[in-house]
């Protein structure tokens, strides 16, 4: 008898629990977001104090200016290391640690005069010697710098980088706060590469040669210094009280949680445990953007990327120019962008809008299926879309990256290309495999192509990826293996010109060649949506620098309000928990 | 017994060597270039080539293998430039797993930092597995053909079938997001915070194993409860819990101990996913990052550590038979 009662009880309790758990899960999975915590106080004024908390999906590998060159590191480096020059709010190069920058008339010499009284994190005053030492440290033969060749036009670079000379000849100290840098030829991109963290002035503790322990205690002249850095967990920066811009920065500290999943970031952001967020899942991004309560607290980051599809001009069938042109005409870019609305933007030219805005008549590729069919006929593969006969007779392997938008975009290309008689077979591989295969000569006929600007200059979209000089048998960055003497000549002339108008005209010609010859089908650009809590002020996405939050400030009274709102928000779940307990 | 022990230790060392060698070969014959991954997709070929030379990746695979294996275990004082030393010294013995390509820290240092968090979660998960498994199995066996028994069998089926990433996400959603009983993720700074944060990853890992152990103990107990010596114990008037826990369960634990040893690999495999979900800074997270970024020295270090742990666990299981089973001891 006792046994029977137990069974019934157990069955009953088990069933009730199962139903409760299911309800709880369903309740928690509703497709909407919570409104912001607290309100934005219009009368709040900028004041010092507070810690801004945010997160990264990835880990930050290193904080050594000489070696860290990924997106996550760059955001933090821009707060630790001020450079001689940087970008203003419009993306224009302006002096930062330099008081003035004077290029010579022939464009081969730059004279930098440093600000006086700039204190590094260790309290020492910045001098020209620190600048020279830091540049030489990064370009030293033993330093694992990923991009030293960006500085190859500095006089004496090759000898110094090969370890044949003890110092870099082209960088000369001309006073305690002045130095000159000589170039072998004029280079319009030189100030852009001087704005990279690679050559940021470092404290004397960095030494003259690379030492891997410096990454754990980085020291520069930026508004924040590192307080705590644990790989995969946290980076905490605190204000550098000796910062040269009086009254700045406002924040006491900034904390990044590292390696946080995007869904966890969303949960924490809703809860008020994060103040700023950027790495949303597609679904969450849409929910926040559509939510009326969150309007005014977020903005799109400008896109500095171009993506699409490369076509290997040395391999059949894309050694046939008309077939390449057929592909470029066949892809409906708006449709590709609609797969991930907002984040993906249709882009028919190589250089993103933020660098060279489009204007009527600007050369670009277009979607024109009729023209694509004509190009197919010119290529020798006429296709009848009604009877579905003809076209290119073989299936073309298409290389894309697993777990990335490139795979989804490839599915759309597949549909579009089928309509003009080209069949592709998508091969998804890991990122390292993709890099290895796509950069090897005579290996991949067609695949994903993407490029992110190292700096906001058109040259970064042409020279590394479409010039003849970028072609190699292995490790070729020119995955299309596209060689065009006219384009090469234009790119050299544009790089050497100091005249902005002339440069823009030259890059317009370069863009026309790409549109005409179609080594790439340029299709889209990718951008992020950024969101912050109502009490975070003074932040707007920067046109060049990612997560440039150095001037942000926190309305601490607003955050206190948020704290109370957070308590109120947690109450329902607590009540639910109590209810579950009571039912037990 | 000593001969048996020596044979077992010898086979263990051979297994570890074979695993490490196989991993080295597979990693090095893949058509991928770690230098390119380190430098980034936008680095110029000359810069990639320089990094390849700096890392010694331009050498033939045989040279790299000999260099790696010869540096693995050495004896003597550290080099003159101790600042660049990447070895872990235990007296005169030095173990050098190299330097991470990407984090640019000695692999022994990275493993040393990641091991305590993994051990914490691993031990807690093991406790959950054994406690829930033994208790659930005994309960189901004692109430055979009851709702409790059927429910247990059904639940264990779900537990075994559900991958850890699903269980982890559900637990995180339910217990951390909805009920706010535990942190969503992270490691914490104090011991109390760490223990609190370890609960969800440990539950995720533990419930998966517990389902399996429950079935194992249940089946074992059903067989044992029919044995003559159990009937004799009951006939002598011993209380039911004494009969079950003292006489039956002790014998049912024999296969459980074997499975615990064998399941160390599964526990480690589960930790790789679980730690990533909960941002737990253990070996699992380190492994995922290393594999994604093709960080060869870290991959090799993790494989070496995992294979050592699994081999040692199995060795201990073999030896523990003698402790648990008097017949083995006597033989």
- ipTM of the prediction: 0.77
pLDDT at residue B280 is higher than 60: yes
Q: How many CB pairs under 8 A join A and B?
A: 159
Comparing A463-467, A571-575, B9-13, B79-83, which segment has the lowest mean pLDDT? Answer: A571-575
Give the pLDDT score at A1. 35
Cβ–Cβ of B151/A14 closer than 8 Å? yes
Confidence class for position A561, pLDDT limits 50, 70, 90: low
The partner residue sitting opposite A231, judged by closest CB among B48, B103, B181, is B103
Q: Where are the domains of chain A?
A: 13-45+270-298+530-583, 71-216, 305-526
Contacts of B166 in chain A (CB under 8 A): none
Confidence class for position A61, pLDDT limits 50, 70, 90: confident
Handedness of CA B201, B202, B207, B208 (dihedral sign): positive
Q: CB of A445 within 8 A of CB of A396?
A: yes
The pTM of this model reads 0.83
Give the pLDDT score at A280. 87
CA of B178, closest CA in chain A: separation in Å? 6
Is any Cβ of chain B less than 8 angstroms from the Cβ of A476? yes
What's the start-to-end Cα distance of chain B, in Å? 9
Among chain A residues, the shortest Cα distance to B49 is held by A475
Q: Of how many residues is chain B composed? A: 331
The distance of Cα B108 from the centroid of its chain, to the nearest Å, equals 18
Which of B240, B279, B302 to substitute to test the interface with A, most A CBs within 10 Å? B279
Core vs surface per residue A483-514: b (16+ CB within 10 A) or e:
bbeebbebbeebbebeeeeebeebbbbbbbbb
Which of B52, B151, B179, B287 to substitute to test the interface with A, most A CBs within 10 Å? B179
- Cβ burial of B163 (10 Å; 0-12, 13-18, 19+) is exposed
Give the pLDDT score at B265. 66
Cβ–Cβ of A211/B83 closer than 8 Å? yes
The closest of B183, B113, B198 to A230, measured between CA atoms, is B113
Give the pLDDT score at B84. 60
Which of B185, B193, B282 to substitute to test the interface with A, most A CBs within 10 Å? B185
Confidence class for position A10, pLDDT limits 50, 70, 90: very low
- Cβ burial of B39 (10 Å; 0-12, 13-18, 19+) is buried
Is any Cβ of chain B less than 8 angstroms from the Cβ of A267? yes
Average pLDDT value for residue range B20-27:
90
The partner residue sitting opposite A149, judged by closest CB among B38, B47, B185, is B47
Average pLDDT value for residue range B19-42:
85
pLDDT tens-digit series, residues A370-390: 999 999 999 999 999 999 999
Phi, psi of A323 (to 5 degrees): -70, -40
The partner residue sitting opposite B42, judged by closest CB among A264, A452, A576, is A452
Q: CB of B273 within 8 A of CB of B164?
A: yes
Confidence class for position A278, pLDDT limits 50, 70, 90: very high
Structural domain B110-330, CATH architecture: Orthogonal Bundle (1.10)
Contacts of A61 in chain B (CB under 8 A): 102-104
Is any Cβ of chain B less than 8 angstroms from the Cβ of A357? no
Cβ–Cβ of B48/A475 closer than 8 Å? yes
Average pLDDT value for residue range B42-60:
87
Among chain A residues, the shortest Cα distance to B106 is held by A212
Comparing A152-166, A398-412, B2-16, which segment has the lowest mean pLDDT? Answer: B2-16
Is any Cβ of chain B less than 8 angstroms from the Cβ of A158? no
Is any Cβ of chain B less than 8 angstroms from the Cβ of A471? no
**Tokens (6 digits) for A447:** 């695949």
pLDDT at residue A68 is higher than 90: no
Confidence class for position B322, pLDDT limits 50, 70, 90: low
| A 41-80: CB under 8 A from B | 59, 61-62, 64, 67, 69-70
Average pLDDT value for residue range A125-131:
97
Contacts of A21 in chain B (CB under 8 A): 174
Among chain A residues, the shortest Cα distance to B289 is held by A59
Give the pLDDT score at A20. 54
pLDDT at residue B215 is higher than 60: yes
Cβ–Cβ of A476/B45 closer than 8 Å? yes
Phi, psi of A180 (to 5 degrees): -120, 150
Contacts of A4 in chain B (CB under 8 A): none
Give the pLDDT score at B28. 86
Give the pLDDT score at A572. 44
Cβ–Cβ of A233/B277 closer than 8 Å? no
Which of B26, B35, B41 to substitute to test the interface with A, most A CBs within 10 Å? B41
Cβ–Cβ of A477/B44 closer than 8 Å? yes
Cβ–Cβ of B285/A62 closer than 8 Å? no
Cα–Cα distance measured from residue B111 to residue B301, given in angstroms and rounded to the nearest whole number: 8
pLDDT at residue A105 is higher than 90: yes
Indicate where chain B has its CATH 1.10.3720.10 domain(s). 110-330
pLDDT tens-digit series, residues B218-233: 888 888 888 888 888 8
Average pLDDT, chain B: 85
Contacts of B99 in chain A (CB under 8 A): 212
pLDDT tens-digit series, residues B149-186: 888 888 888 887 888 888 899 999 999 988 999 999 99
pLDDT tens-digit series, residues A84-96: 999 999 999 999 9
CA of B158, closest CA in chain A: separation in Å? 13
Give the pLDDT score at B37. 81
Give the pLDDT score at A2. 37
Contacts of B168 in chain A (CB under 8 A): none
Give the pLDDT score at B255. 75
Cα–Cα distance measured from residue A183 to residue A155, given in angstroms and rounded to the nearest whole number: 5
CA A92, A97, A103: angle at the middle one, nearest 5? 60
Is any Cβ of chain B less than 8 angstroms from the Cβ of A305? no
DSSP codes of every residue in A95-145: ESSEEEEEE-TTSSEEEEEEPTTPBPTTSPBP-HHHHHHHHHHHHSTTS--
Rounded (10°) angle between helices A500-517 and A485-496: 160
CATH of domain A305-526: 3.10.105.10
The partner residue sitting opposite B44, judged by closest CB among A59, A233, A464, is A464
CA of B187, closest CA in chain A: separation in Å? 8
Cβ–Cβ of B281/A230 closer than 8 Å? yes
What percent of chain B shows pLDDT beyond 70? 92
Which has more pLDDT, B129 or B255?
B129
The partner residue sitting opposite B33, judged by closest CB among A70, A435, A451, is A435
Confidence class for position A27, pLDDT limits 50, 70, 90: very low
The partner residue sitting opposite A146, judged by closest CB among B32, B47, B110, is B47
Number of CB atoms found within 10 A of residue A320's CB: 18
- Topology (CATH) of A71-216: Dipeptide-binding Protein; domain 1 (3.90.76)
CA of A213, closest CA in chain B: separation in Å? 8
Average pLDDT value for residue range B193-214:
90
Q: CB of A456 within 8 A of CB of A354?
A: yes
Which of A4, A25, A61 to substitute to test the interface with B, most B CBs within 10 Å? A61
The closest of A149, A300, A136, A267 to A207, measured between CA atoms, is A136
Among chain B residues, the shortest Cα distance to A211 is held by B84
pLDDT at residue A565 is higher than 80: no
What percent of chain A shows pLDDT beyond 70? 90
Cβ–Cβ of B104/A147 closer than 8 Å? no
Give the pLDDT score at B130. 87
The partner residue sitting opposite A436, judged by closest CB among B32, B170, B174, is B32
Cα–Cα distance measured from residue B300 to residue B297, given in angstroms and rounded to the nearest whole number: 5
pLDDT at residue A208 is higher than 60: yes
Core vs surface per residue A349-382: b (16+ CB within 10 A) or e:
bbbbebbbeeeeeebbbebebebbbbbbeebebe
The closest of B8, B9, B317, B288 to B165, measured between CA atoms, is B288
The closest of A199, A182, A198, A183 to A98, measured between CA atoms, is A199
Give the pLDDT score at B83. 55
pLDDT at residue B51 is higher than 80: yes
pLDDT at residue A270 is higher than 70: yes
pLDDT tens-digit series, residues A299-337: 999 999 999 999 999 999 999 999 999 999 999 999 999
Cα–Cα distance measured from residue B171 to residue B158, given in angstroms and rounded to the nearest whole number: 15
Contacts of A142 in chain B (CB under 8 A): 54
Cβ–Cβ of A264/B172 closer than 8 Å? yes
Contacts of B146 in chain A (CB under 8 A): 3, 7, 10
Question: Kind and range of the H or E element at A182?
Answer: strand A178-182
Cα–Cα distance measured from residue B259 to residue B137, given in angstroms and rounded to the nearest whole number: 15
CA A56, A60, A65: angle at the middle one, nearest 5? 130
Which of A53, A71, A73, A232 to substitute to test the interface with B, most B CBs within 10 Å? A232
Cα–Cα distance measured from residue A20 to residue B171, given in angstroms and rounded to the nearest whole number: 14
pLDDT tens-digit series, residues B86-113: 778 777 788 889 889 888 889 999 999 9
pLDDT at residue A263 is higher than 70: yes
Give the pLDDT score at A323. 97
pLDDT at residue A35 is higher than 90: no
Contacts of B116 in chain A (CB under 8 A): none
Average pLDDT, chain A: 89
Give the pLDDT score at A582. 36
pLDDT tens-digit series, residues A485-497: 999 999 999 999 9
pLDDT at residue A563 is higher than 70: no
Cβ–Cβ of A436/B83 closer than 8 Å? no
Q: Which residues pair with B34 in a beta bridge?
A: none
């Amino acid at each position: 008898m006792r046994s029977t009662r137990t069974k019934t009880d157990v069955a009953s309790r088990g069933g009730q629990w199962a139903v409760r758990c299911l309800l709880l899960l369903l309740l928690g999975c509703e497709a909407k977001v919570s409104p912001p915590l607290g309100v934005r106080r219009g009368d709040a004024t900028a004041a010092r104090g507070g810690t801004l908390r945010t997160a990264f999906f990835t880990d930050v590998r290193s904080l050594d200016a000489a070696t860290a060159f990924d997106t996550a590191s760059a955001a933090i480096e821009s707060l630790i290391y001020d450079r001689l020059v940087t970008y203003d709010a419009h993306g224009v190069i302006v002096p930062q640690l330099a008081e003035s920058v004077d290029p010579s008339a022939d464009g081969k010499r730059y004279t930098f005069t440093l600000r006086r009284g700039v204190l590094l994190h260790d309290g020492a005053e910045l001098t020209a010697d620190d600048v020279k030492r830091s540049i030489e440290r990064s370009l030293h033969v033993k330093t694992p710098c990923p991009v030293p060749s960006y500085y190859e036009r500095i006089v004496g670079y090759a000898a110094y980088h090969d370890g044949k000379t003890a110092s870099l000849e082209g960088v000369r100290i001309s006073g305690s706060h002045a130095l000159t840098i000589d170039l072998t030829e004029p280079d319009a991109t030189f100030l852009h590469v001087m704005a990279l963290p690679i050559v940021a002035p470092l404290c004397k503790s960095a030494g003259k040669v690379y030492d891997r322990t410096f990454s754990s205690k980085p020291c520069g002249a930026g508004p924040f210094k590192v307080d705590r850095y644990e790989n995969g967990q946290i980076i905490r920066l605190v204000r550098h009280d000796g910062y040269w811009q009086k009254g700045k920065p406002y924040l006491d500290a900034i904390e990044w949680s590292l390696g946080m999943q995007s869904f966890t970031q969303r949960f924490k952001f809703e809860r008020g445990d994060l103040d700023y967020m950027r790495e949303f899942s597609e679904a969450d991004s849409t929910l926040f953007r559509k939510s009326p309560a969150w309007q005014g607290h977020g903005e799109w980051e400008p896109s500095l990327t171009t993506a699409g599809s490369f076509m290997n001009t040395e391999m059949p069938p894309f050694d046939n120019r008309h077939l390449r042109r057929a592909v470029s005409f066949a892809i409906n870019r708006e449709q590709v962008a609609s797969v991930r609305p907002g984040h993906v933007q249709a882009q028919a030219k190589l250089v993103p809008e933020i660098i060279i805005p489009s204007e009527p008549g600007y050369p670009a590729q277009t979607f024109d299926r009729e023209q694509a069919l004509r190009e197919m006929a010119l290529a020798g593969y006429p296709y009848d879309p009604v009877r579905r006969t003809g076209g290119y007779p073989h299936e073309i392997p298409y290389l894309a990256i697993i777990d990335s938008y490139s795979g989804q975009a490839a599915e759309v290309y597949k549909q579009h290309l089928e309509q003009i008689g080209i069949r592709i077979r998508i091969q998804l591989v890991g990122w390292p495999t993709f890099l290895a295969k796509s950069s090897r000569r005579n290996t991949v006929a067609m695949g994903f192509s993407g490029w992110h600007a190292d700096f906001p200059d058109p040259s970064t979209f042409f020279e590394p990826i479409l010039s003849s000089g970028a072609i190699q048998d292995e490790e070729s960055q020119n995955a299309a293996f596209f060689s065009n003497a006219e384009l090469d000549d234009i790119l050299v002339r544009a790089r050497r010109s100091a005249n902005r108008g002339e440069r823009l005209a030259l890059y317009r010609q370069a863009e026309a060649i790409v549109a005409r010859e179609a080594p790439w089908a340029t299709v889209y650009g990718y951008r992020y949506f950024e969101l912050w809590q109502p009490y975070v002020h003074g932040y707007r996405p920067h046109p060049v620098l990612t997560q440039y939050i150095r001037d942000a400030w926190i309305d601490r009274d607003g955050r206190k309000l948020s704290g109370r709102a957070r308590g109120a928000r947690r109450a329902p779940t607590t009540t639910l928990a109590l209810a579950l307990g009571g039912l037990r | 017994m000593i001969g048996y022990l020596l044979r077992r230790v010898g086979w263990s060392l051979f297994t570890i060597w074979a695993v490490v060698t196989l991993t080295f070969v597979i990693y090095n014959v893949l058509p991928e270039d770690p230098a390119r991954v380190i430098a980034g997709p936008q680095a110029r070929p000359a810069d990639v080539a320089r990094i390849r030379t700096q890392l010694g990746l331009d050498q033939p695979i045989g040279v790299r293998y000999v260099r790696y294996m010869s540096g693995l275990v050495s004896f003597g004082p550290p080099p003159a430039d101790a600042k660049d030393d990447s070895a872990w010294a235990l007296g005169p013995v030095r173990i050098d797993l190299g330097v991470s390509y990407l984090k640019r820290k000695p692999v022994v240092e990275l493993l040393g930092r990641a091991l305590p968090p993994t051990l914490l979660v691993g031990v807690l998960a093991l406790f959950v597995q054994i406690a829930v498994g033994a208790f659930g199995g005994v309960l189901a066996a004692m109430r055979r053909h009851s709702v409790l028994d059927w429910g247990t069998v059904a639940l264990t089926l779900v537990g075994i079938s559900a991958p850890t990433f699903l269980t982890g996400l559900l637990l995180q959603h339910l217990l951390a997001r909805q009920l706010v009983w535990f942190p969503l993720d992270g490691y914490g700074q104090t011991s109390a915070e760490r223990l609190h944060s370890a609960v969800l990853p440990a539950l995720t890992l533990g419930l998966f194993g517990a389902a399996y152990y429950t079935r194992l103990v249940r089946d074992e107990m059903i067989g044992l409860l029919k044995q003559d010596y159990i009937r004799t114990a009951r006939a002598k008037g011993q209380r039911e819990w004494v009969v079950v826990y003292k006489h039956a369960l002790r014998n049912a634990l024999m296969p459980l101990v074997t499975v615990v040893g064998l399941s160390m690999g599964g526990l480690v495999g589960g930790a790789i996913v679980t730690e990533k979900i909960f941002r737990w800074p253990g070996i699992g997270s380190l492994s995922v990052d290393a594999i994604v970024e093709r960080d060869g020295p870290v991959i090799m270090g993790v494989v070496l550590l995992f294979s050592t742990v699994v081999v040692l666990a199995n060795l201990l299981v073999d030896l523990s038979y003698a402790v648990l089973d008097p017949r083995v001891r006597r033989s």
